[in-house]
Structure 1
Amino acid sequence: MANNLNTFHIITYGCQMNKNDSEKIAALLEHCGLSEVVSEKDADLIILNTCSIRAKSELRVFGKLGQLKHQKKTKPNLKIGICGCMPQYKEKELLSKAPIINLIFGTNTIHRLPELLSTITSRNVIKDIAKNIEQTEIPIPPKRGSLHQAWIPISFGCNNYCTYCIVPHTRGKEKSRKKEDIIKEIIAIDKNKYSKIVLLGQNVNSYGQDMYENYDFADLLQDVSEVPGIKLIDFMTNHPKDISEKLIEVVKHTPNINKSFHLPLQSGDNEILRKMNRHYTVESYMALINKIKKEIPNVEISSDIIVGFPGETEEQFQNSLIAVREIRGFRVNTSAYSPRELTPAATMPDQISTKEKARRLQLLMRIVDESSKSTI
Structure 2
Amino acid sequence: MAVKVGMVSLGCSKNQVDAEIMLALLKKGGYALCADADECDVVIVNTCGFIEDAKRESIEQILEFCQRKAQGELKVVVVTGCLAERYRQQLVEEIPEADVVLGIGANASIVEAVEQALNGQRTTSFPEKDKLMLNGERVLANENYFAYLKLADGCDNRCTYCAIPLIRGSFRSRKMEDILDEAQRLADMGVRELNVVAQDTTRYGEDLYGKLMLPELLEKLCQIDKLHWIRVLYCYPDRVTDELLEVMNREEKLVKYIDLPIQHCDGTVLSRMNRRGDRESLTALMERIREQVPGVTIRTTLITGFPGETEEQFESLCGFVKDVKFDRLGCFAYSREEDTPAASFGDQIDEEDKQRRAEVIMETQYAIMEQKNLAQVGSTLEVLAEGYDRETGLCFGRSRMDAPDIDSYVYFYADKKPRPGSFVNVRITKAVGYDLIGETTA
Q: Secondary structure at the match of 2:77?
A: strand
Q: Secondary structure at the match of 2:226?
A: coil
Contact 1:270–1:281 (Cα < 8 Å) also in 2: yes
Among candidates 223, 226, 229, match of residue 223 of structure 2: 226
Q: Secondary structure at the match of 1:289?
A: helix
Farther-moved stretch of structure 1 (168-177 vs 205-214) = 205-214
1:363 and 2:360 are equivalent in the alignment: yes
Match of 1:9 in 2: 6
1:249-328 matched pairs, under 5 angstroms: 249-328=246-325
Deviation at 1:44, TM superposition (A): 1.1
Aligned residues: 372
- When normalised by structure 2's length, the TM-score is 0.80
Match of 1:143 in 2: 139
Q: Secondary structure at the match of 1:267?
A: coil
Deviation at 1:134, TM superposition (A): 4.1
User: CA 1:85/1:66 → structure 2, altered by over 3 Å: closer, same or farther?
Assistant: same
Contact 1:79–1:122 (Cα < 8 Å) also in 2: no
Farther-moved stretch of structure 1 (183-192 vs 336-345) = 183-192
Contact 2:62–2:79 (Cα < 8 Å) also in 1: no
- Separation (CA, whole Å) in 2 of partners of 1:249 and 1:138: 29
Give the strand-richer structure, 1 or 2: 2
- Separation (CA, whole Å) in 2 of partners of 1:142 and 1:165: 28
Contact 2:85–2:104 (Cα < 8 Å) also in 1: yes
Q: What does the per-residue CA deviation read over 1:163-207, in whole Å, with 9 as the maximum and x for residues that have no partner? A: 111111111111110011111111223447211112211101101
Q: Secondary structure at the match of 1:120?
A: helix
Q: Secondary structure at the match of 2:56?
A: helix
Match of 1:237 in 2: 234
- Separation (CA, whole Å) in 1 of partners of 2:212 and 2:69: 51
Deviation at 1:248, TM superposition (A): 0.3
User: CA 1:138/1:248 → structure 2, altered by over 3 Å: closer, same or farther?
Assistant: closer
1:50-65 matched pairs, under 5 angstroms: 50-65=47-62
Match of 2:341 in 1: 344
| Alignment gaps of 5+ in structure 2 | 376-442
Q: Secondary structure at the match of 2:329?
A: strand
- Separation (CA, whole Å) in 2 of partners of 1:66 and 1:109: 22
Amino acid at match of 1:320: L
- Separation (CA, whole Å) in 2 of partners of 1:189 and 1:92: 37
Match of 1:36 in 2: 33
Identity of aligned residues (%): 26
Match of 1:217 in 2: 214
1:158 and 2:155 are equivalent in the alignment: yes
- Separation (CA, whole Å) in 2 of partners of 1:318 and 1:96: 45
| Alignment gaps of 5+ in structure 1 | none
Contact 2:43–2:65 (Cα < 8 Å) also in 1: no
User: CA 1:202/1:137 → structure 2, altered by over 3 Å: closer, same or farther?
Assistant: closer
Deviation at 1:8, TM superposition (A): 1.0
Q: CA RMSD in A?
A: 1.9
- Separation (CA, whole Å) in 2 of partners of 1:113 and 1:86: 16
User: CA 1:133/1:296 → structure 2, altered by over 3 Å: closer, same or farther?
Assistant: closer
Match of 1:45 in 2: 42
Q: Secondary structure at the match of 1:284?
A: helix
1:97 and 2:94 are equivalent in the alignment: yes
Q: What does the per-residue CA deviation read over 1:289-343, in whole Å, with 9 as the maximum and x for residues that have no partner? A: 1111111121000111110101111111111111111121521101100011221
Match of 1:117 in 2: 114
Deviation at 1:122, TM superposition (A): 6.7
Match of 2:350 in 1: 353
- When normalised by structure 1's length, the TM-score is 0.94
Farther-moved stretch of structure 1 (313-322 vs 58-67) = 58-67
Deviation at 1:107, TM superposition (A): 2.0
- Separation (CA, whole Å) in 1 of partners of 2:339 and 2:6: 31
Amino acid at match of 1:301: I
Contact 1:77–1:122 (Cα < 8 Å) also in 2: no
1:70 and 2:94 are equivalent in the alignment: no
User: CA 1:14/1:190 → structure 2, altered by over 3 Å: closer, same or farther?
Assistant: same
Q: Secondary structure at the match of 2:124?
A: strand
